[in-house]
Amino acid sequence: MNGQNLIGGPTGGEACEVVSSVYESAPAAEPTSARLADLTTLHVGGPARRLVMARTEEELVATVRDADARGEPVLLLGAGSNVVVSDEGFDGVVVVVGTRGLRAEVSDCAGAFLTVAAGEPWDRVVIHTLSQEWIGLETLSGIPGATGATPIQNVGAYGSDVSSTIARVRTWDRMAGKIVTYAASDCGFGYRSSRFKEEPGRYVVIDVSFQLELGPLSVPIRYAELAAALGVEVGQRAPLARVRDAVLALRRSKGMVLDAGDHDTWSAGSFFTNPLLSAEGAATLPDGAPRYAQPDGTVKTSAAWLIDHAGFGKGYGSGPARLSAKHTLAITNRGAATAKDVLDLARTVREGVRERFGVTLVPEPVLVGCRL
Ligand code: EPU
């Protein structure tokens, strides 16, 4: 469906054509099981007491509102790619966010403004934007998960995060009992954080709007490893499709592209965030440790490096949960792991890093019914 209209210039100058379009990916598959192990990419977790597939905004809001009115615990699940659910499961309603649809308004004067339903799979959104030559999401290719999850932890990779393109986030505020829309500047975005993450469970993301530029070339490439893979200098641009291909190849080499047949990818992505240290704290790390100065004076180091250098190399572990053979930051389920196996390994790694470097790693996935 396409529509067109014209915006007059402010002083009666050149009119700017606005083209509206709608894109929707295939409907969400009906869940065949209420076991969270079957609904999450780490493949651990016991049963949900009740499971609801919400395919419309109305169903999503009504299910959460009604459960809240009854005092029934609610777990919202997108693609299940960033959660660790306990082996006891979830004693409440698990709401699978199965909403779909992307509406766009595009013009030469204002770029592309798109609004995406929370349940729309993120990578399909990325693919669609690149096919339209809309710029800004290309380095975020191949990330599993639903679009509605992206603002919650300000998803990022290879030099960009969604905070640089999000225009607004529309939510159901469970505390206020009403729909509340946040402009990007009110979302409290930081490294893997936002106001939505700061108050876990308060907000149900309904849809996310992005503002993108138009053109065939990517944003300037800021991540050195990606620039090297593309054969460009840091700060240069490259064709969108080449950037996507290069990001996917890098992610694959690190085991970060989901493949149902490969246990090395049965994970929740990075299990720990990269620590932000004070300048003094960072000075105590060994010479070889990565250090990335942040605008606020803190120094980000690499959790993967700390883990590796605390004696937990790639593939560490001998049980059903092991570190990925390709990247120390992913904890993987070799097929029969329980949540307990995953958490035991995470604790071993966290304690080992604390003993060796004095840094306490913070888990990145949402832990449901369990803790480290
Ligand atoms: N490293 C090791 N051992 C390993 C892997 C990496 O020592 O097994 C070292 C590398 O040599 C490098 C450093 O760790 O010096 C950083 O590794 P990498 O470039 O792979 O990135 P990362 O910091 O581990 C972050 C994000 C990823 C994102 C990549 C690329 C976090 C927690 N992780 O990983 O995001 O894709 O950068 O931008 O911010 C995610 O958040 O789930 C995620 C996958």
Residues 226-255 have pLDDT tens digits of 999 999 999 999 999 999 999 999 999 999
The tens digit of pLDDT for each residue in 114-131 reads: 999 999 999 999 999 999
Among the listed residues 102, 103, 110, the one whose alpha carbon sits nearest the alpha carbon of residue 18: 110
The pLDDT value recorded for residue 1 is 41
Nearest CA to ligand 1 atom 41: 270
What secondary structure, in 3-state letters, does the chain show? CEEEEEECCCCCCCCEEEEEEEECCCCCCCCCCCEHHHCCCCCCCCEEEEEEEECCHHHHHHHHHHHHHHCCCEEEECCCCCEEECCCCEEEEEEEECCCCEEEEEECCCEEEEEEECCCEHHHHHHHHHHCCEECCHHHCCCCCEHHHCCCCCCEECCEEHHHCEEEEEEEECCCCEEEEEEHHHCCCECCECHHHHCCCCEEEEEEEEEEEECCECCCCCCHHHHHHHCCCCCCCCEHHHHHHHHHHHHHHCCCCCCCCCHHHCCCCCCECCCEECHHHHHCCCCCCCCEECCCCCEECCHHHHHHHCCCCCCCCCCCEEECCCCCCCEEECCCCCHHHHHHHHHHHHHHHHHHHCCCCCECCEEECCCC
The rounded mean pLDDT for the chain is: 95
- The pLDDT of 83-112, averaged and rounded, is 97
The tens digit of pLDDT for each residue in 308-320 reads: 999 999 999 999 9
Among the listed residues 167, 160, 163, 126, the one whose alpha carbon sits nearest the alpha carbon of residue 143: 126
Give all domains of the chain, ordered by start, each with its CATH number: 19-24+100-253 (3.30.465.10), 36-97 (3.30.43.10), 263-368 (3.90.78.10)
- The pLDDT of 204-212, averaged and rounded, is 98
- The pLDDT of 328-336, averaged and rounded, is 97
- The pLDDT of 179-189, averaged and rounded, is 98
- The pLDDT of 265-272, averaged and rounded, is 97
**Which amino acid, residue 133?**
E
Q: Which atom of ligand 1 is nearest to the CA of 155?
A: 41
As a whole number of angstroms, the distance between CA 367 and CA 197 comes to: 12
Binned at pLDDT 50, 70 and 90, residue 15 comes out as: confident
Burial (Cβ within 10 Å: 0-12, 13-18, ≥19) of residue 122: buried
The pLDDT value recorded for residue 7 is 54
Q: How far is the CA of 302 from the centre of ligand 1 (A)?
A: 7
The pLDDT value recorded for residue 2 is 47
Q: Which atom of ligand 1 is nearest to the CA of 327?
A: 8
List all residues whose CB is within 6 A of at least one atom of ligand 1: 157-158, 223, 225, 254, 256, 269-270, 273-274, 290, 302, 304-305, 308, 314, 327-329, 364
Residue 69 has pLDDT above 80, yes or no: yes
Residue 6 has pLDDT above 70, yes or no: no
Nearest CA to ligand 1 atom 28: 157
The pLDDT value recorded for residue 5 is 59
Strand 16-23 versus strand 321-323 pairing type: unpaired
Q: How far is the CA of 365 from the centre of ligand 1 (A)?
A: 15
The tens digit of pLDDT for each residue in 348-359 reads: 999 999 999 999
Q: To test the ligand 1 pocket, which listed residue (158, 244, 254, 329) has its Cβ within 8 A of the most ligand atoms?
A: 329
Point out the residues that are catalytic: 192, 270, 364
Q: How far is the CA of 146 from the centre of ligand 1 (A)?
A: 21
Q: Phi first, then psi: give them for residue 247, nearest 5 degrees.
A: -65, -45
Nearest CA to ligand 1 atom 36: 157
